[in-house]
Amino acid sequence: MIRIALFLGLLLALSGCSGNWGWYVVDPRTTSGWNNLRFLLSGLEYTVYLSAVAITISMTVGLLVALPALSPFPWLRRASRVYVELVRSVPLLVLILWVYYGLPQLTGLTLSVFWAGVIALALSDSAFQAEIFRGGIQSIARGQYEAAYSVSLGYRDTMRYVILPQALRRILPALGNQLIYMLKMSSLVSVIGMQELTRKANELVVVEYRPLEIYTILVLEYLVLILIVSSGVRWLERRLQADES
């Protein structure tokens, strides 16, 4: 990953010499460049906040959808299946538009851009979370349930203290993937006016007409953000593994 960053840095340094670039637009040494840079970075807070709230909700909903998928009752399994199939087949961009423009008409509620974004992202991701949780829980051996039941634990305590802690460890890499996916997909919420990273870049491009430099900065913003997140996930994985050995 460090190599990729170095490669990109090199590419930029080289391109700086070629004359087609106009880095002045984000040159921190000039006042306007510095202000532009700060303007671009100011979207970071919303991108992170939006993604964090959405993934918290989508994990919760995902778990609640996964549990009936594992139930002995066929109608519960079917309900869970229908939810996953339905939600999974709507493109995220379409879902964002539908939640923001459609849902208020249907319900009479007015949604802020932020919450429309959160709902659309969380809804869309919850179907994938449900599949991840289902797989993770299913991978835990039958004997773990039996041992928990044999020391008198009920279903809820068995899930909470025995099954889910083990399942979570196993699905941690997949959850990390979903978080990264969420951070990237949050860029789509720019279409309804959410002032996150991508929206800020779009707005600056309109003013400065320097799409190459501005979108390159945008790429780097996502790159750095996601490299930090994925190294965080890997740190957590290592820590949990070290716990047990």
Partner 1 sequence: MSAEMPEDSAPLIEFDAVSKDFGKFRALNGIDLEVGRGERLVICGPSGSGKSTLIRCINGLEQIDSGRIVVDGVALEPGGRGARQVRGKVGMVFQQFNLFPHLTVLENLTLGPVRARGLSRADAEATARRYLARVRIPEQAEKYPRQLSGGQQQRVAIARSLCMEPGIMLFDEPTSALDPEMINEVLDVMTELAETGMTMIVVTHEMGFARRVADRVVFMDAGEIVEMAPPDRFFTAPESQRCRDFLQKLLHH
Where do contacts with partner 1 occur on this chain (CB under 8 A)? 141, 143-144, 146-154, 157, 161-162, 165-166, 169, 243-245
We find the least distance from the C-beta atom of residue 140 to partner 1, in angstroms, to be 10
Calpha distance 88→98 (Å, rounded): 15
DSSP annotation of 23: G
Decide: 127 and 98 in contact? Cβ < 8 Å: no
Decide: 113 and 193 in contact? Cβ < 8 Å: yes
Question: Which CB, 148 or 182, lies closer to partner 1?
Answer: 148
DSSP string for 159-199 = IIIIIHHHHHHHHHHHHHHHHHHHHHHGGGGGGGT--SHHH
Can you say whether the dihedral through the CA atoms of 175, 176, 177, 178 is positive or negative?
positive
What residue type is 186 in one-letter code? Answer: S
Decide: 179 and 228 in contact? Cβ < 8 Å: no
Question: Which CB, 147 or 206, lies closer to partner 1?
Answer: 147
Question: Which CB, 52 or 153, lies closer to partner 1?
Answer: 153
Question: Which CB, 224 or 240, lies closer to partner 1?
Answer: 240
Question: Which CB, 106 or 151, lies closer to partner 1?
Answer: 151
Task: Measure the CA dihedral 30/34/39/45, to 10°.
Answer: 170
CA 112 to chain CA centroid, Å, is 20
We find the least distance from the C-beta atom of residue 75 to partner 1, in angstroms, to be 19
We find the least distance from the C-beta atom of residue 148 to partner 1, in angstroms, to be 8
Q: Name the one residue in this structure whose structure tokens are 């799409």.
A: 211
Question: Which CB, 22 or 154, lies closer to partner 1?
Answer: 154
We find the least distance from the C-beta atom of residue 223 to partner 1, in angstroms, to be 34
We find the least distance from the C-beta atom of residue 240 to partner 1, in angstroms, to be 9
We find the least distance from the C-beta atom of residue 100 to partner 1, in angstroms, to be 42
